[in-house]
Structure 1
Amino acid sequence: MKSLLVKIETLLGYFLGCLMFAMVVDVSWQVITRFIVSQPSSYTEEIARYLLVWIGILGAAYAFRRHAHLGLDIVTRSLKGRKAMIAQKAADFMCLVFALSVMVIGGFNLVSLTLELNQLSAALQVRVGYIYSVIPISGVLISLFALERLLSPYSAVAEHDLVTDIK
């Protein structure tokens, strides 16, 4: 399972890089059409907004996998041994519950509702449900990553945190 999650993490990183590149191109085109050509493109702002949403939500899953989320660790840094393991496992369990309940189930309900209502975006005329689909996708990824943490021995989690802190 670990090698599959490493491959998913790698693909997710490349995909996020492609989304960032697309956003740079899109915003550059928006600036060119607005200030150089003096005929602003009507769809570039909407594309940039949706790319930002996808980058932010998928980036949260990527950051979770890499232990790169910001956190207030004043208390947890002082914990050692079993107490540190319990705190880490409790946090991972809460992340799993949130990802499953809010992002996967709630996100799936949101996507289903917007697809059923046939909501379209203003400029692109794309079904909004497709744009919102990033929520349950990211929820599934976070759930998989949290399950991996919960099922792994504490030493592997502590070792990963140590490597992350050094970088």
Structure 2
Amino acid sequence: MEKIRSVMDKALAAICALLLAFMTVLATYQVITRYVFKAPSTMSEDMLSYSFVWVSLLGAALVFGQKNHMRLSLLSDKFKGASGLVLSIFTELLIIAIAVIVFLVGGIDFVGVGALQASPTLNITMDFVYAILPLSGILIIIYNVLNIIQSIQKFNDSEKEELQ
């Protein structure tokens, strides 16, 4: 399981880094065309917006995988042992439910609507842009399943240590 997580982490981190580098170059190009040449590029503005959405959602999936997302530990710190495991699994299942409803179901609907829309400046259908919603939903679900497995393994390991 750690191998899967490691590969996903490295791939997502690399993709996010490439997108951020691309966005930096694009923003620099946009500033130069706007202020130096007095001819702003609308194409780069749209590409920058779409790239920002992609890097944000891919970054969110990565953060869920690393359990670095913002959370209130007030409740989870009070539960240890089996009750802590139950709370951890419940939390992960709740996130999976939200990812399925919002990202997968909602995202697939958005992709369907996006197929009927076109970006006027880039001349592409918007389903390519909206495809990040179900993709990030799948990544979040995979990460949360891995988190559940990891929580169970840690609990079992701690139980074994207590018996020795």
TM-score, normalised relative to structure 2: 0.87
Deviation readout 1:50-103 (Å, 9 max, x if unpaired): 111001111110000011101122221222222221111111001111112221
- Which consecutive residues of structure 1, in runs of 5 or more, have no partner in the other structure? 160-167
Aligned partner of 2:148 in structure 1 is 150
Secondary structure of the residue that 1:78 maps to in structure 2?
Answer: coil
Percentage identity across paired residues of the two chains? 26
Secondary structure of the residue that 1:38 maps to in structure 2?
Answer: coil
Q: Which amino acid aligns with 1:32?
A: I
Aligned partner of 2:107 in structure 1 is 107
My pick for the range that moved more, 47-56 or 99-108, is 99-108
TM-score, normalised relative to structure 1: 0.86
Q: CA deviation at 1:113?
A: 2.7
Deviation readout 1:94-148 (Å, 9 max, x if unpaired): 1111112221122112202321x2x111321211111000000000111111111
Higher Cα Rg: structure 1 or 2?
Answer: 2
- In the alignment of these two chains, the number of paired residues is 156
CA distance in 2, matches of 1:96, 1:52: 24
Q: CA deviation at 1:16?
A: 0.4
Given that 2:5 and 2:143 are in contact with CA atoms closer than 8 Å, whether structure 1 keeps it comes out as: yes
CA distance in 2, matches of 1:114, 1:30: 26
Given that 2:107 and 2:130 are in contact with CA atoms closer than 8 Å, whether structure 1 keeps it comes out as: yes
